[in-house]
Amino acid sequence: MISTDAKFTSPNDIAAFARQLRNKSKAIPKVVRVCIGTGCAAKDSRKLYELFQEAARKSSRDVRVETKNVGCHGFCERGPIVVIDPGEIFYQQVEEPDVAEIFRETILGGRILERLLFEDPLTGKKATKAAEIPFYNVQKRVVLSANGLIDPTQITDYLAAGGYSALAKVISSMSPEQVIEQVEESHLRGRGGGGFPTGRKWRSCREASGNGKYIICNGDEGDPGAFMDRSIMEGNPHSVIEGMIIGAYAVGAEQGYIYVRNEYPLAVRHLTGAIAQTRKRGLLGKNILGSNFSFDIRINRGGGAFVCGESSALIASLEGKPGEPRAKYVHMVESGLHGKPTVLNNVETWTNVPKIINNGGKWFADIGTEKSKGTKVFSLVGKVVNTGLVEVPMGISLRRIVEEIGGGVKDDKKFKAVQTGGPSGGCIPAEHLDARVDFDELTKLGSMMGSGGMIVMDEDTCMVQVARYFTEFLQKESCGKCTPCREGLAQMLHILTRITKGEGQADDLDKLKALAELLEGTALCALGKTAANPILSTIRYFQAEYEAHIQQRRCPAKECKGLFRYKIDEEACKACGICLKNCPVDAIVGEKKVPHKIIQEKCTLCGTCWDKCPFSAVLKV
């Protein structure tokens, strides 16, 4: 029997303690799991958690109920999510008044509340368990498998679920060389965007001369619309830490850093707590699990700079400097943080490591495509029915992600493109929806895997605006060190802005392409080298749309103000007068029972009439 807060002094302690925990949890027949990921927490799920706790405490019935805070389930669209065991009953969009009823009916009475179940919008079928929902059943959850099951603030939950067994295995029976061999055999590639083979990186670092090596976890997830790493750090922080300890063992590092965005306070809190628990248990610090291997981790918070996702900029930041990238002609595995050999991997990459050790490199390599193995987590957002976090095997088609998991485009609009790879990624059009999700496949299409943002766009999205938006984002986030990125992005933004204003010039597309080529060839870091991807990919697939802006001063998606007009559909107009009253410049005329009209000369194209019309009678033409 190992006492509940004992320090582990041997690898065998882990399995013994996990067994002990599992036996103990059998005694608790009912468990309520409330998601407190950022998405659900924004809809007040913490309050739900408190209410369930109170209900459990006050319950006169002699039944043991455990209430758990758990990490993100991924189905943020339908939050707050509450899961009840036994039965894995999946309730969605739970509100405060529901708590008492759930407690009485489901937890005590064992009856399912139909109205809180997910209903398939197509078939009308209700799903009792998550696995029955299309959003989940197409997914393959490896990295996210414990998200939503365990309480991220309790190391015991992670241990009971088999946590740190990979570390125990490594320390008790594997040499560093064998660890690296397994990672190489898995063909795991970096999940942060670059896709560099992790095993090869580790080997180079192990072979690099010099002591004081470092292990770094990149948690500076800056892509707008991406929250994969946040959900892992918040929902399962120990999986990241375990991966890092194993990595440190493999390359021979004694100090590790986790670099987290300051905008992720919950992730910082959960990681900080997890590190403290890990130290107490003898899983971090001197002589881990009684071996002569020592390693510790510190958390460093970012200061708000997208470029710090770039590894050399992140290192500059970890050295207390502005996050400016530097040349990588000498690799970081040779000379990284403070000039020492350094391995830097992103959150999702680290999380995969314990799985690979436990199941073997071959198991991992059996998932996915020839050159992209394992699974990948994406944050599926934009104009799609189901937004949320999804984990799929590499090689699945974009169509299955968008249509089956995502449920297709919102409001019956037509699909136009899916943007992958973050701001430096690209837009993939409908004709390539059957492309497989794979590092090389996406690159071939002019986009990239990136860290896993996936933004769905519909027919109302102007692709020139999309390019402009990302170029503006990157221009604001450029560190300004090298000439092509700093000056080139400003020049490209200048050109894109004039195109969206209807002031495009005949040779603007050629100019954009030339600038794009210059950036790709001459910029210092990956941010600059790939900054033109949004422009190049939109020109590649939507050139006609650019030409309409430039030659005809027309925005086909009717998004660029001034490049389309408003018109009232006389048949749809009910002459209610709302548009007329709301027009800020009195550009609408009409009387009762007479369809209204817009005087184009007076109209400032502000769009108020379009917003206000209750009958959708105002058209964009």
Partner 1 sequence: MAEESQLIDEIVDRYEGEVGMLIPMMQDLQAEIGYLPVDHLRYMGKKLEVPMSHLYAVATFYSSFRLAPKGAHEVTLCLGTVCYLKGAGEISQAICREFQVAPGGTTPDRMFSYNPVNCVGACALAPVMVVDGKYHGQVTMESALEILHGLSLEEQTKEATTAE
Partner 2 sequence: MPTVTIDGIKVEVEKNATILEAAQKAGVWIPTLCYHEAVSRSGACRLCMVELEGGDQKQLVTSCNYPVRHDLVVSTTSEQAVKARCGVMELLLARAPESEELKELAERMGVLQTSFPTVTESQRNCILCGLCIRVCEEVIGQSAIGFAGRGVDKAVAGPFRQPAEDCIGCGACAAICPVGTIRIRLHEEEQEIEISPFKSRNKLIVCEECGAMIISAQVSEQALRKIESIFAEFPHRLRLCPQCRKKQTAKKLEESKVFHKKVTVS
Residues that bind partner 2 (CB under 8 A): 305, 322, 326-327, 329-330, 475-484, 486-491, 494, 511, 514, 518, 521-524
φ/ψ (deg, to 5) at 346: -90, 170
Name which of residues 368 to 407 contact partner 1 (CB under 8 A). none
Closest to partner 1 by CB, 121 or 607:
607
- The reply on whether position 323 binds partner 1 by CB under 8 A is yes
Q: Cβ closer to partner 1: 402 or 485?
A: 485
Using CA atoms of 541, 544, 548, 550 in order, give the dihedral in degrees to the nearest 10: 70
Instruction: Please state the closest distance from residue 598 (CB atom) to partner 1, in A.
Output: 14
Query: Which CB sits closer to partner 2, 204 or 358?
Result: 204
Cα(395)–Cα(435) distance, integer angstroms:
9
Beta carbon nearer to partner 2, 375 or 478:
478
In the window 509-528, what residues touch partner 1 (CB under 8 A)? none
Site for partner 1 in 581-600 (CB under 8 A): 582, 584-585
Give phi and psi for 340, each to the nearest 5.
-100, 155
**Which residue in 218, 238, 241, 243 sits closest to 229, CA to CA?**
218
483 binds, among partner 1, partner 2, none (CB under 5 to 8 A by kind): partner 2
Quick one: 217 or 377, whose CB is closer to partner 1?
217
Selected binder of partner 1 within 175, 207, 607, 615 (CB under 8 A)? 607
Please check whether residue 618 is in contact with residue 564, taking contact to mean a CB–CB distance below 8 angstroms.
Answer: no
* Chain centroid, CA 15 distance in Å: 32
Lookup: tokens for 341? 């050999």
In 3D space, the residue among 139, 144, 82 whose CA is nearest the CA of residue 113 turns out to be 82
Q: Binding to partner 1 by residue 317, rule CB under 8 A? A: yes
Which one, 363 or 469, has the nearer CB to partner 1?
A: 469
- Residues 282-311 close enough to bind partner 1 by CB under 8 A: 298-305
- Check if the beta carbon of residue 517 is closer than 8 Å to that of residue 567: no
State in angstroms the smallest separation of the CB of 481 from partner 2: 5
Smallest gap from Cβ 284 to partner 2, in A, equals 35
Q: Is 577 in the site for partner 1 (CB under 8 A)?
A: no
Query: Do 477 and 527 contact (CB within 8 A), yes or no?
Result: yes
Distance, CA of 463 to CA of 535 (rounded, Å): 9
| Interatomic CA distance for residues 116 and 123, integer angstroms | 17
Q: Which is nearer to partner 2, 221 or 324 (CB)?
A: 324
- Quick count: other Cβ atoms within 10 Å of Cβ 549? 27
In angstroms, the CA 282 to CA 157 distance is 17
Q: Which does 362 bind (CB under 5 to 8 A by kind): partner 1, partner 2, none?
A: none
256 contacts partner 1 (rule: CB under 8 A)? no
Amino acid found at 68: K
Of 23, 96, 604, 615, the one binding partner 1 (CB under 8 A) is 604
Q: Give the HSE-up count for residue 287: Cα atoms under 13 Å, Cβ half-sphere.
A: 6
CB of 311 to partner 1, least distance (A): 16
By CB under 8 A, name the one of 96, 101, 177, 319 that touches partner 1: 319
Q: Count of residues for the chain?
A: 621
121 lies in the binding site for partner 1 (CB under 8 A) = no
- End-to-end CA distance of the chain, in Å? 75
Q: Which letter, b or e, does each residue of 180-190 get, where b requires 16 or more Cβ atoms within 10 Å of its Cβ?
A: bbbbbbbbbbb
Output 279 or 529, the one with its CB closest to partner 2. 529
Contact residues: partner 1, CB under 8 A: 262-263, 298-305, 317-323, 338, 479, 561, 582, 584-585, 604-608, 611-612
